[in-house]
Structure 1
Amino acid sequence: MKKEESVNVNTLSRQETVVSITIIAGMFFIFGFLSWINAILIPYFKIACELTHFQSYLVAFAFYIAYFVMAVPSSYLLKKLGFKRGMMVGFFALSLGAFIFVPAAMMRTYGLFLLGLFTIGIGLAILQTAANPYVTILGPKERAAQRISIMGICNKVAGILAPLFFAAAVLRPTDQALFDSLAFMHEEARGAALDELIRRVVVPYSVVGTLLLVIGIGVRYSPLPEIDAEEEHGEVAVANSSKNSVLQFPHLVLGALAIFIHVGAQVISIDTIINYAGSMGISLMEAKAFPSYTLGMAIVGYFLGVLVIPRWISQTNMLRLVTGLGAVLSLLVVFVKGDVTLFGYHTDISIWFVVLLGIPNSLTWAGIWPLALDGLGRFTKVGASLLIMGLCGNAVLPMVYGYFADSAGLREAYGVLLPCYLYLIYYAIWGHKLRSWRKLERRKTF
């Protein structure tokens, strides 16, 4: 299959750049919708499939471990097929994953649901490996964090809508009474009730699968240009002349670890908050709004990024600021207690610190990407795939949280966030500056 001819981004007109960014923004909306719906799938499957906290967080594990499996193969797929055909394949994988939900629901088989989520994750790994370099490269690099913030707004708006749409399509006003009575039902009656509950996903996911199939074909024939992410000029070409592997770029490798830690911490703050609200006596029907509050704070952070980066603060200094804020909020979640009534909810104050984590989480991703990809030249595609591989942090860290939630308590489990933000502070101040492993070795000798 012959690739379409790629173009250098510097040759694109302003109109072509705007159209490209708009198409990518639409894709980020889809990414957000499919990713953040996990926040309500976790408690939904916990009830319908009768799971522990740890088992329920396999939703995040199955979904995001696909990034680890598929990230590097995605870069080679895109190199062979080109960006547009590669993204079409990604959308087809999303569609297949959605359709797998149908037999999974008919049999109420949790393992099959996890397979569907893994397949969706594979599709997103392909698409994100393609989409993020577009955002980073299309425009001045000092404004990359600003463009990523715009993509983040699209992503998080979808994240706010996804749980609400899912709840509207699948949950009923009378379901809370059903949830409360399940423990007292006879086994046969409980099984029938849970079968009915889980089969409500059949129609929504059938519709989503069909739409994704159509969108994939649309992207293939869209005006989105093929970009040349591998051409090197001047100082970059000279600096990279002796390198033959992305592992020779310490700022990239440390950046991939930063992505791993950041996204895992972000998912913990969003996907666990419904269960945390439930521990305070808030029903699922009410608690379903809490992920939207955290994502709403993320949108506030993104708008802040758009307004002030780089006009009043550089993207690097903003990264330092927000990672420090994340560390402070993590401490407040674990150690500050007290009853408050806010927005009609009577809760412990700590849940609102979890909500506020949306602000630092929003701008951390935007800060890491341009720093990690800086100066990669012809290694940009593979470098981007390494960063996308870091998204498997979404799979691992929620499982760590789930383990401590079962053994130590839901509040105490948020303690896993503090070392995450401490590493992110390190990367923001020192890690992104490393251009040679030898320099790091010399530092360790002093």
Structure 2
Amino acid sequence: MNAETKTNVQGRQLVVALVILGAMFFAIGFALGINSYLIPLLKSQLGISSAESYLVLGATFSAFLIFGYPASFVIAKIGYKRTMALSFLLFAVGFYLYIPSGKLESLPLFLIASFISGMGNTFLQASVNPYVTILGPIESAARRMSFMGIMNKLAWPVPPLFLSIVIGKSVDAVSFADTSLPFIIIIGLFLLLGIVALISPLPEVKAVGEDEDEAEDCPYAANKTSIWQFPHLLLGILALFFYVGVETIALGTMVDYAESLQLMNPEIYAWISPVGMVIGYLAGIIFIPKYVSQSSALVTSAIVAIVGSILVVLTPADISIFFVGLIALGCALMWPAIWPLAMTDLGKFTKQGGSLMVISIVGGALFPILYGYIKDVAGAQNAYWLAVPLFGYILYYALKGHKIRV
């Protein structure tokens, strides 16, 4: 086989891998998007506060804190593909528990179901994100992650619409009894994805210098003895922690924010943030790395997000919801850019580094709850002030933090 033929085969294999991984990123977004439907449903059916309803997000994302780092040992033991398949099984168990949770009208059982679903999300994120990052050249990782981001964010608004279509009612008219059939359908689809992951042709991949006999290929990591000796990674974990928190607010609060503003058909506003993010992802695909570096893209994204956050708070309430889409536009390239910037030069610590990065997704548990408390005290619009300092730190990481080496 000549070199050109070999390159073509590798190209086809890459396309197949990206398609399969894209489906998995869609599943991640779909699973998280279910929360945006559950939050107003729990408020209306259980008569609880905004802060209490946002506990479902807290339960989902707290799983990342507990299982994020152990996921690296699971991946090392059974490989990326089997870890992906395991994650879909966990998803199915969590979604099944939503059915008795509704019948019993039990918030604690809803939280348990969300936690188990979060476990599935943890193992899936811990496997697919490092996988996409090291699947090709690190310089173009943000471009590949942007492709994945489109699939992920397009999935966020699908659950509210899917549930509304299957149930045949708007979210403000739904009862728990109406949700059993759609969740049975969702369980079947996720089990099917688990089977696809298990039998897929995805190859096992490793980062440069990850094998002990190739340590010289990554000299920065070769003499390190601990994952905690990589300051650019640790600062990147904090950046990702802030980012996931504020992105979850931008994506997960849309239906609730529309209801707070007393807008008709609030579920249709769930599309605003994903559309903003998709526009940002498309820009990343076009411009990174040919015209814009990953770090420069992160600088621009942080500035756009800061401006969007301020406009949400300061503009009239009836149009402020559309500026949440500007926040989302700024968020779009943060995940694709932070991952490769933080994962560069980890060598043999790549799997551990990826799992630590996944732990930072717990930001999606803490900051939406904090948003809920601020909303209860100061109103939904003023609650978006929370985003400004978080994006400020991400701007620091883009300008300086990712460059720090010891």
TM-score (normalised: structure 1): 0.85
Q: Partners in 2 of 1:210 and 1:130 — Cα distance?
A: 22
Question: What is the CA-CA distance between 1:273 and the residue it aligns to?
Answer: 2.4
Matched, 1:310 2:289: yes
- Provide the rounded CA distance (Å) in 2 between the counterparts of 1:75 and 1:11: 32
Unaligned 5+ runs, structure 2: 1-6
Instruction: Specify the alignment match of 1:231 in structure 2.
Output: 211
Counterpart selection for 1:353 from 323, 336, 355: 323
- 1:298-320 per-residue CA deviation (whole Å, 9 max, x = no partner) reads 11111111111122211110110
Structure 1: distance between partners of 2:299 and 2:405: 19
C-alpha displacement of 1:282: 1.3
Q: What is the aligned partner in structure 2 of residue 213 from structure 1?
A: 191
Contact 2:215–2:347 under 8 Å retained in 1: no
Aligned pairs (5 A) from 1:2-81: 13-81=10-78
Deviations 1:246-282 (A, max 9, x none): 1110111111111110010011112222222222221
Change (3 A) 1:290 1:421: same
Mapped to 2, the partners of 1:159 and 1:224 lie a distance apart of 25
Distance 1:352 1:127 in 2: 31
* 8 Å contact from structure 1 (residues 160, 296) kept in 2: no
The 1-side partners of 2:364 and 2:398 are apart by: 20
Partner of 2:230: 249
What is the CA distance between 1:234 and its match in structure 2?
A: 6.5
Amino acid at match of 2:230: F
* C-alpha distance in 2 between matches for 1:152 and 1:429: 23
Contact 1:152 1:302 survives alignment (8 Å): yes
C-alpha displacement of 1:353:
1.2
Match of residue 420 from structure 1: 390
Cα displacement string for residues 368-405 of structure 1 (whole angstroms, at most 9, x for unaligned residues): 00000001011111100011100000000001111111
8 Å CA contact 1:98–1:120 kept in 2: the answer is yes
Which residue is equivalent to 1:388? 358
Percent identity (aligned): 38
CA RMSD of aligned residues (A): 1.8
Kindly indicate whether residue 300 of structure 2 is the aligned counterpart of residue 321 of structure 1. yes
Could you tell me how far apart the structure 2 residues matched to 1:109 and 1:43 are?
Answer: 15
What amino acid sits opposite 1:219 in the alignment?
Answer: A
Distance of 1:269 and 1:302 partners within structure 2: 16
Q: Tell whether 2:241 aligns with 1:263.
A: no
CA separation in 2, counterparts of 1:80 and 1:12?
29
What letter matches 1:358 in structure 2?
A
Question: What letter is aligned with 1:411?
Answer: Q
1:333, 1:245 → 2: CA distance?
42
Q: Do the aligned partners of 1:251 and 1:431 also contact (CA within 8 Å) in 2?
A: yes
Indicate the SS of the match to 1:311.
coil
Give 1:140's aligned residue.
137
Q: 1:392 to 1:59 in 2, by over 3 A?
A: same
Residues 1:100 and 2:89 are matched in the alignment: no
Name the residue aligned to 1:299.
278
Residue 188 of structure 1: aligned partner: none
- Give the AA of the match of 1:133: P
1:77: how far off?
0.6
Q: CA 1:70 to 1:234, structure 2 compared with 1: closer, same or farther past 3 Å?
A: closer
Provide the rounded CA distance (Å) in 2 between the counterparts of 1:271 and 1:238. 42
Work out the CA distance in 2 between the residues paired with 1:279 and 1:205. 27
Aligned equivalent of 1:199, options 177, 180, 185: 177
Secondary structure of the corresponding residue to residue 410 of structure 1 = coil
